[in-house]
A and B are shown apart, each in its own frame.
Chain A
Amino acid sequence: MKAFLTRRKSLLVAASAALALTLSACGGGTGGGTNPKPAEKPSFAAGTTMEKIAAAGSIKIGTKFDQPLFGQVGLDNKPVGFDVEIGKLIAAKLGIAADKIEWSETVSANREPFIEQGKVDLVIATYTINDKRKKVVSFAGPYYEAGQALMVNKDNTDITKPEDVKGKKVCSVTGSTPAGTIVEKYGAVLVPAATYSACLEPLRNKQVEAITTDNVILAGLVDKEPDAFKLASEETFTKEPYGIGLKKDDTEFRNWINDQLEAFGKDGSYKKAWADTAGTVIKTAPELPAIDRY
């Protein structure tokens, strides 16, 4: 028994030492991206969502944690990417510093429920605006327009357009819009994966012929291994306008965000946000799309 106790003690010591190491390793990370300067004491009309959030001094934003260039969490546990930058810019306009944002992961399937249940104030997560979603949430934006594309092995010559994938195996992420489109519209055989990076192995092994998703994500993947993969074509075959999801019918908040987006487009912060994130890979800088004030 005595021996057992000492062993347990030594285990405890070892465990706490390990914990201390981990904690010290976690501390001090500033996270990627930039920290836009928060507005000094912004004032909003009483009763608006902007006023409530500004008064609370923190905002809850949902984003993707596994989407390169848009919203990806690195080892320091802080999300970085273009979506994240847009979130920071909006928070700053509410007088909230970047470190006061509460980020949570919104995977494709939980974006609407999180907004409906008030778990997040905003969802900025490569969130395509569509009519079904408009029934349950409202969208500000679009702040970016992506489009679906195909990525193939470097030596592939027989897939250049989406019609070429009929009956062929194509990898995409389970439950994403592009996965649905490639099956329903173009008759591909879907091979689902958990993340886009997981699709790389079957493509490399020629177990699938192509990977499909939004062009910006594929660009990030091709950029990492330009000798192995390429985009089937520069042309995109769908329009995926990314919007900012918020509580349905909070029109004041939506209009306010739309105004901010237009301001970011004019004052260069939109361009800077792009250049700091996705612009490191995708050389053509986007223009802010026309805001849809439906």
Chain B
Amino acid sequence: MDAIIESLPLYWNGFLRTLFLSAVSGVIALLAGTLLAAARVSPVAALRGFSMTYVEILRNTPLTIAFFFAAIVLPRLGVKFEQFEVGAIMALSAYTAAFIAEAVRSGVNSVPVGQAEAARSVGMQFGQVLSLIILPQAVRTVIPPLINILIALVKNSSVAGAFFVLELFGYGRQLANSNGDQVMAVLLGVAFFYLLITVPLGILASTVERKVAISR
């Protein structure tokens, strides 16, 4: 236990780094994922094809491959960034965006098709139908799975620890090594700090779910 108390500053550093990675990647992934979902249901075939290809590739390959690409392959091709966090955020957002796109798409599909038809018959354009009629209704169904994806993102950010970014899990390994007599305590401490991020997200999910439940 004293190992945890002593190392609180280090844990805190790791915690903040994990929070930062997750938050920035989460925001980028939400934007990109929504755009991908819109492309997926758009009337333009090329957009649909691009979105489907992207989502299927990213969703069906391990996250480590995305990381490998961002942290090792890109620099090889001459794309270098000063901060390794940039690579980590690229990998995490690209990967998570695919899952968010799927969640949003399923939400869009949950809106009865009559709604879209009615909107079209009033003379709305595709953009209007999507932004005024479909998405506001879809969001309600989508929020719980979205929060699930964000919880997964927080945990996935630990992969960055193997790709040059010192985050919570990385600090945890460091502490476990320097406190050989309290490995279990140190790792429980790491788990606690992850829970500090993920449990509130889970509570938020259930609250929102109750708030926006639609009776159909």
Residues of chain A whose beta carbon lies under 8 Å from any beta carbon of chain B: 108-113, 130, 132-133, 135-137, 171, 174-177, 179-180, 190-194, 198, 201-202, 205, 207
Contact = CB atoms under 8 A, between A and B. Distances in A.
17 contacts: A109-B176, A109-B177, A133-B180, A135-B180, A174-B161, A174-B162, A174-B173, A175-B172, A180-B178, A191-B84, A191-B164, A193-B162, A193-B163, A201-B75, A202-B164, A205-B76, A207-B164
B176 A190 contact: no
Interface in B137-182: 161-166, 169-170, 172-174, 176-181
A14 B181 CA distance: 50
Contacts, number: 80
Given A113-B183, A136-B181, A180-B178, 17 more contacts: A108-B177, A109-B176, A109-B183, A130-B180, A133-B181, A174-B166, A174-B173, A175-B170, A175-B176, A176-B177, A177-B178, A179-B177, A194-B163, A201-B75, A205-B76, A207-B75, A207-B84
B187 interface: yes
B75 A171 contact: no
B197 to A, nearest CB: 20
A177 B177 contact: yes
Contacts of B165: 192
A132 B180 contact: yes
| Centre residue among B163, B166, B173, B180 by max chain A CB count within 10 A | B180
B72 interface: yes
Contacts of A192: 161-162, 164-166, 170
Contact of A113 (B84, B172, B184): B184
A132 B163 contact: no
A32 B120 CA distance: 71
A174 B75 contact: no
A193 B174 CA distance: 12
Interface of B: 72, 75-76, 80, 84, 161-166, 169-170, 172-174, 176-181, 183-184, 187
Q: Dominant SS at the B interface?
A: helix
Contacts of B161: 174, 192
B77 to A, nearest CB: 10
A174 B174 contact: yes
Contacts of A136: 180-181
A111 B177 CA distance: 9
A176 B164 CA distance: 14
Contacts of A193: 162-164
Contacts of B75: 201-202, 205, 207
A38 B176 CA distance: 36
B212 to A, nearest CB: 41
A18 B165 CA distance: 39
B176 to A, nearest CB: 4
Contacts of B179: 132
Nearest to A110: B183
A193 B72 CA distance: 11
Contacts of B162: 174, 192-194, 198
A293 B72 CA distance: 46
A112 B183 contact: yes
Given A109-B187, A132-B178, A174-B161, A201 B170 contact: no
A238 to B, nearest CB: 13
A201 B173 contact: no
A188 B23 CA distance: 27
Contacts of A198: 72, 162-163
Contacts of A180: 174, 177-178
Contacts of B72: 198, 201
Nearest to A111: B180
